A and B are shown apart, each in its own frame.
Chain A
Amino acid sequence: MRRIVTILLLIIVALGISLSLAKIPFGTPKTKVGKYYIDEGIEETGAVNIVTSVVVNYRGFDTLGEVTVLFIAAIGLGVVLTASGGRETRKTKPASLVLYTGCRLLFPLILVFGSYIFIHGHLTPGGGFQGGAIIASGFLLIYLGCRERRINRIASNLAESLGGLTFVVIGLLGLVFGGYFLLNFLPKGTANTLFSAGIIPIIYIAIGFKVGSELAGIIDNLIEES
């Protein structure tokens, strides 16, 4: 009986979703704001990657909220796991030589790649969130391959705090110089060069540090405390 009701409900939900999706005219632009970003974005913000110009410039305040959500999630996880028990002390089998050497060899390359992604966020696809996630996956590799190596908690907390602080301070400087939060007050430079787009690369580097250290901290908490 329950199964039949579930299947019926699922059929109703599927019908509703497919009917409402069929009404959407895919491929035809409905809003004008998207076209505006594509046409004027490079001119206005100096960032060649339009996704970045939307994320950090036009919708920069939303990004601050997004970073805050991630920060609260990481803090909450740390609190819950630290309260639930002490550090893990059981013995672990050391990784084989091939795995150990491979991890140590790959780790700096992954770090460089992640940094490249967030430093060039305004030029090529990617940015602070993607670069931070790549850096955190590098730390995950170290945790799996070389178990005796740990991240320095103080350094990671420092990077996290400095990243968040840089974001907010740059936003407030915009308030001081031009009158609104997160104003792009630095010179925009020539588009498609590394030093262009004003505050966008600075904010994305700050986000990269923040996201990378937060996700690495989550992995550290999960492996160590659980």
Chain B
Amino acid sequence: MIFIVSFLVVLMLVGAIAASFFRDLIGAVIAAALVSLIASILFYFLQAPDVAMAEAAIGAALTAAIFIIAIRRTERFEE
């Protein structure tokens, strides 16, 4: 169990760092959504399924969609 959680936390950190370093903003949004998705899995492991559901639906799906809509109207690549 502890190994799964540690692996997920490391993956979350990688996602967070990737989100701040990617020049392609769509990729950065996907990396940020990955952080939310892993956070929701961790919430489930911590026996908080209510929070896990909200995090998966809002953090991973709706927030990423709103960011992508914003990127579509602006620039995709950072200078």
Contact = CB atoms under 8 A, between A and B. Distances in A.
Nearest to B54: A130
Interface size class of B (residues with CB under 8 A): 10 to 19
Contacts of A52: 50
B61 A140 contact: yes
Contacts of A130: 50, 53-54, 57
A125 interface: yes
A51 interface: yes
Given A133-B57, A226-B73, A215 B50 contact: no
Main secondary structure of the interface of B (DSSP, over half): helix
A119 interface: no
A144 B72 CA distance: 13
Contacts of A126: 49-50, 53
B50 A133 contact: no
Interface string A184-226: 0000000000000000000000000000000100110011001
A134 B69 CA distance: 19
Nearest to A130: B53
Interface size class of A (residues with CB under 8 A): 20 to 34
Nearest to A144: B65
A219 B64 CA distance: 12
Contacts of B61: 133, 137, 140
Interface in B37-68: 49-50, 53-54, 57-58, 61-62, 65-66
A222 B66 contact: yes
Contacts of A140: 61-62, 65
Main secondary structure of the interface of A (DSSP, over half): helix
A134 B61 CA distance: 9
Contacts of B54: 129-130, 133
Most buried by B among A126, A127, A144: A126
A129 B52 CA distance: 12
A124 B54 CA distance: 14
A110 B73 CA distance: 28
Given A52-B50, A117-B53, A144-B65, 5 more contacts: A130-B57, A133-B53, A133-B58, A140-B65, A226-B69
22 contacts: A51-B50, A117-B53, A125-B49, A126-B53, A127-B50, A129-B54, A130-B50, A130-B54, A130-B57, A133-B54, A133-B62, A134-B57, A136-B62, A137-B57, A140-B61, A140-B65, A218-B66, A219-B62, A219-B66, A223-B69, A226-B70, A226-B73
Interface of A: 49, 51-52, 117, 125-127, 129-130, 133-134, 136-137, 140, 144, 215, 218-219, 222-223, 226
Please name the 4 residue pairs, one residue from A and one from B, whose CB atoms are nearest each other, closest first: A133-B57, A125-B49, A130-B53, A137-B61
